[in-house]
Structures are given as structure tokens and as C-alpha cells.
A and B are shown apart, each in its own frame.
Chain A
Amino acid sequence: MRIPVVPFLTPPQEAIIHGGWLLCAVDGDIALPNELSHWDYQTVLRLAAPVSVDRRAVTKACQIEWESGLAVLVMARSSHTNAELLAARLDVPLSDTFDLAVELCLEGHELGGRLTLETLLVSTRPKPLGPLAPQHPGSILWRRTHWSDLEGAGAQYPTDTIDFAATGRSPRAGWELRIELTDPGARFMSGARLTLNSGHPAVEKLLRGEKDEGTEQLLRTLNWDVTRQMVHLALRSEDVAALELDPDALSVAGVLRNLLAVIWPLESIVTLRHWLDDEPNRIEVHLQNHCGLLK
């Protein structure tokens, strides 16, 4: 058992009440489930949560002056993209208790895998009344973590399953990704297909929804391999290279262009193509890191 203890006083749990995240949808709000089966990279997640802060109880327990600066922050982290975003920040008003309506909006292209939302109560301007009080701006007084598994790489494409052995494919292969680029303007969702080998025991276990270290590594490997195949396809395509960045693109070439920009936001396609020819290891190492291939 490993337990970290911060060097300053923190408030009792009941001083801050998090009402849980709600997923805002057209047909009404629902509690954020632990799995979002219909999520894909084009989904914009709109989330809301009521957070009640008892300023009097917090400042008393922490031995800071009542009018000390407090803020509620929400950090959003995504396991597949390694993105860590400050998704919301609300200053806590100077009131004994206050109910904050925390709202945030998360673009799908920044996310993938497990979405972790960490709600923090932070002292932004602590006015300490004693040596055990938080002394510095940014001291985290309270935190609450929620998570939801966004559908992984497999669900970002039209996906089907088939027993490879029964269809003459290599029986020990795990999956097959096909992306049709003969019509670069066609919709990505109709031009791409990921087929999983349901005849392979490891894939079958994954499809059953079992969660252990093996299936988690398999998911990470699937995500890495699919991303890698798409990157190589994108870098070989003149149609992709000719495109300007358009975050809203839905076409095959547009989605591939955007993928390159997400993975290498600061590099031009010309540079990436040079790397592919002269230093392919540079592409590969970055991809493994970006995709979180190894835990």
C-alpha cells in the first residue's frame, strides 16, 4: 500500500461535493458511463457536473483566510493520445457555499482510449494562517477522478470480425486494415475497414470484453499498428500531401492528413517524408511513443 501525504492541511471530503459527470446529448443528459460505445474521433463530448464547494469548511480546515483564492479545475487525460488538457477552470466565488456548474467540451480528435477526468480544488491565492496551511498558489486541496473508456482504435473505423482461418487468411494474424485511397475524396468511414480475426484466441478474448493485462496490451498494439499503417499510407500518398489541414475533413485523404498533424503538429509532410526515406527509425520511435505502445 503506497499513500502520498501532502505537506499541508486538506479539507474534509464532505466540504466538496461532486455530483458526477453528465453526458449532454440531444435527447437529454445521462450519467457518463464507464464505456462510451458510440464514441469516435469525430465526436465532440459535452460534459457537465455540479460541484459544490463549502468555502467556510475548506478554509477553516486548511487554516487559510476565508477570502483566499480557490478554483475548481478539470484536467482531461487521454491514454491513447497522451493528451493532457486543462478542460475547465472556474474560480470559486466569495460565498460560504457555492454550487458551480462545471461544463466542458472535448474534441474527439484529441482523445482515444481511456478518458480520465480529474476534478481539482486548488488554492490559487492562499493566505495561510499557520505553518501547516497551504503556502503556495497551485496547492491541490482536493481531487476526484472519474473515467470513461472511449471506444479504442477498433471502433474508430467500420469494424467487423471474421474467422481468418475460415476465409483463407493467415490464421495467426490478429487483424486486417483496409483503406481505399483510389478515391481520396470518398468519406473515410466508407473507405476504411478494420477486420478482426475472431478465430484467434487473444482477439476472441478481447471481443468478449475481458480486461486483463494481455487484452490491454493487445489493444495498445492494435492502436499502434493501425495508426502506423495509416501513417505510412498517408506519407506515400500524393493526394494526402497536397491537402491543406482541415480539422473538419471527413474524406479519406483529409482524415489521413489530420492524423499526421495530430501526431506531428510541428512538422511538415515534406519533412516527414524525408524522415521516412532517410531516418525511418525516427518515425517509428515517435509513433510507438505517441501511441503508448508499451505501458
Chain B
Amino acid sequence: VIPLHPVELDGGLGTLARLLINPAPASSGTRLHVQVAAALDGRDADSNLDPALSLADLRIGDVSRNVKGLSEILTLEHSEPVEVDLVVRRGSETTVLFDIDAERI
């Protein structure tokens, strides 16, 4: 994860996470599992605490994809490092906990 910071969205606030995905050796790509929730103490989270919390946008290069809900699985076929921007819409006081897992495919 490179930078993570709050951003302004149309009609609200959000948080941006930029992920740099390096493909595993001898793989055809990466499957990303992303979950977001309101962070409680940095490790624990509550997915119901902020009703405004939702994935909003997922960008790979110039390609943008609308996403919603609190979790997403993204399959990337790549042999070079790829940057993925993940934007989360949230309430004004919410610390967002990103829970990210990557598996080789």
C-alpha cells in the first residue's frame, strides 16, 4: 500500500488507498480480496458503525470501475507491477480499516 489519505468526493468524504501489486513469480496474476469497515482501535473493526461506509471506486490505470458494498474481489491478469486505486466513501469521522489479502492465480 503506497499512500492512504482522505479525499473529497462529490457530496461527501472518502479515503483513498493506492495499492501496488507485484505479481508472484510464475503466476498469471493476482486475486485481491478487499474488505473495509470502520476501525475501532486499529485492529478491530465494525462494519455496521458507519452507514455511509461503502466502496466507491476502483481504478486501474485509466480504467475506472464502480464498486459498492464493503467487500470486493478483484482478479488481475498481469506480469508487471500494477497500481490499483481504491476509493471508499465514508462518514466525516470514520477511520477506515482496510483489510487486504492477495493470492496468486
A5 within 8 A of B: yes
Chain B residue numbers with a CB within 8 Å of A1 are: 1, 98-101
1/0 per residue B62-101: CB within 8 Å of A? 0000000000000000000000000000101111111111
Whether the pair A3, B5 counts as a contact (CB closer than 8 A) is no
- SS class of chain A's interface: helix, strand, loop or mixed? loop
Sorting the interface of chain B by its residue count into under 10, 10 to 19, 20 to 34 or 35 or more gives: 20 to 34
Whether the pair B7, A132 counts as a contact (CB closer than 8 A) is yes
> Number of contacting residues on A, CB 8 A?
13
Whether the pair A3, B1 counts as a contact (CB closer than 8 A) is yes
Chain B residue numbers with a CB within 8 Å of A8 are: 6
A8 to B8, CA, bound (A): 11
Nearest Cβ distance between residue B70 and chain A, in whole angstroms?
14
A7 within 8 A of B: yes
Residues in A1-49 with C-beta less than 8 Å from chain B? 1-10
A152 to B62, CA, bound (A): 55
Known: A131-B8, A132-B6, A132-B7. A5 touches B17 (CB 8 A): yes
Whether the pair A132, B13 counts as a contact (CB closer than 8 A) is yes
Q: A residues bordering B, Cβ < 8 Å? A: 1-10, 131-132, 135
Interface CB pairs A-B, < 8 A, 29: A1-B1, A1-B101, A2-B43, A2-B45, A2-B100, A3-B4, A3-B17, A4-B39, A4-B96, A4-B97, A4-B98, A5-B5, A5-B15, A5-B17, A5-B95, A5-B97, A6-B6, A7-B13, A7-B15, A7-B90, A7-B92, A7-B93, A7-B94, A7-B95, A7-B96, A8-B6, A9-B5, A131-B8, A132-B5
